[in-house]
Amino acid sequence: MSTAGTLQITAQGDRELVITRRFDAPCTLVFAAMTKPELVKRWLGVFGGWSLAVCEIDLRVGGAYRYEWHGPKGARMGMRGVTREVTPPARWVATGRFDEAWYPGEEINTSVLVEQRGQTTLTNTVRYESQEARDMVLKSPMEKGMAAGYDNLEKVLATMAQEG
């Protein structure tokens, strides 16, 4: 597990967000873990008292998927979408929308898996309906434009926290 990569979240173009992560397992296993409901139920959002109580995936083009998470104190979260394209075990494209989305429109999720020496890199590109929607999700402080001032900002925040 020590060879697994660190998570990266970056902005790409106006409307996209790219999440990358390397896994210490071959492509076929990662694809299965990402698309078979009984396996997805064991990891996606499953931590900190949350479970993926409902997980239905019809992996055919035009097929629907549905996720429902149950959290502490009766908290609920849901997401649904439709498969647009699927090429096992390397690529899966699907639309998606949270039940209570805090940003406008649907997102389009493209997951690409590339295996190299037994390890697999997942690149998940999330395309939002508009730049506005993407920015609402990304929340700028981590964007490049902010990076220069960010180290300083951390110090400022730390100081202010101390001062109360």
Partner 1 sequence: MTRSKRLDATFAALADPTRRAILARLASGEASVTELARPFEMSQPAISKHLKVLERAGLVSRGRDAQRRPRRLAAKPLAEANGWLEGYRRFWEGSFRQLDTLLEQMKARRKHKGDIR
* 49 contacts partner 1 (rule: CB under 8 A): no
Buried b (16+ CB within 10 A) or exposed e, 109-136: bbbebebeeebbbbebbbbbeeeebbbe
Choices 26-34, 59-67, 78-86, 88-96 (CB under 8 A): range interacting with partner 1: 26-34
Q: Give the shortest CB-149-to-partner 1 separation in angstroms.
A: 3
Q: Is 110 helix (H, G, I), strand (E, B) or coil?
A: strand
Q: Residue 138 interacts with partner 1 (CB under 8 A)?
A: yes
- Nearest Cα neighbor of 35 from 60, 9, 17 is 60
Instruction: Pick the stretch among 28-36, 56-64, 86-94, 109-117 that binds partner 1 (CB under 8 A).
Output: 28-36
Q: Which of 18, 33, 59, 101 binds partner 1 (CB under 8 A)?
A: 33
- Candidates 53, 75, 114, 146; binder of partner 1 (CB under 8 A) is 146
Residue 30 within binding range of partner 1, rule CB under 8 A: yes
Beta-carbon count within 10 A of 9 CB: 14
Sheet of 8-12, strands arranged across: 8-12, 16-23, 119-127, 107-116, 91-98, 76-87, 64-70, 51-57
7 binds partner 1 (CB under 8 A): yes
Q: How far is the CB of 157 from partner 1 (least distance, A)?
A: 5
Query: Which residues of the shown chain bind partner 1 in the complex (CB under 8 A)?
Result: 1, 4, 7, 9, 19, 21, 23-25, 29-30, 32-33, 39, 42-48, 131-132, 135-143, 145-146, 148-150, 152-153, 156-157, 160
